[in-house]
Amino acid sequence: VNTARNLAQLTVDNDAVGATLTINGGDITTAILALTNGVVVTGSNTLIHNGTVTRTTGYVDGNLSRSYTAIDAYTYHVGQNGYSPVLASVTALGMNPSSLTVKPTDMTLPGLNAGVSASRYWTLTETGDLTADLAFTYLDADINGDENDYRSYKLSGGVITNMCAGGPCVNAGTNTVTVTGISDFSDWG
């Protein structure tokens, strides 16, 4: 990796069982990202992707970030112990550029009842000022209780807020929970 840690393209294609590529030594920025096979593990580092992406079965286990300079939709191909992407459809930019970083965690959002909650949550971190509609996709293995009763909860400053107070915001057929008009980012489950 060059000393600036900027790549024209990062391709991950290793179909060996349990194959991983670990990023060490700082953040890496890439214009083109190809997640063919295998898992990119970022640890405390961040993979910054500001270009085109293709995906077959690969994903990022850790921090995946994108800068926004215009209204745009982007799928964060993330997961931990399984692929659990987040689709962010940016609907407004208050500061240009702004960025959003997504990190998955394979456990129930702290403060929720694990017996009736998905055993997966995501940490979203914003730099700048943006508003987005979000779709979180969980795995069948994450389901505890009746997923038709699932809501999306935000954990911020130790306070849990039901972001679907009017009723379920889950599509049980696609294992997706959707929330709209979000401009305050933190932990989501």
83-103 residue pLDDT tens: 999 999 999 999 999 999 999
- pLDDT for position 167: 72
List Cα–Cα distances, 46 to 94, 100, 175, 180, in angstroms. 23, 11, 26, 26
Residues in the chain: 189
- pLDDT for position 186: 97
- pLDDT for position 18: 84
- pLDDT for position 171: 94
Positions of the chain with pLDDT under 70: none
Beta pairing class for 130-137 and 121-127: unpaired
Q: In the structure encoding, which two tokens stand for residue 188, read together?
A: 């989501």
- pLDDT for position 179: 94
Is residue 118 within 8 A of residue 146, CB to CB? The reply is no
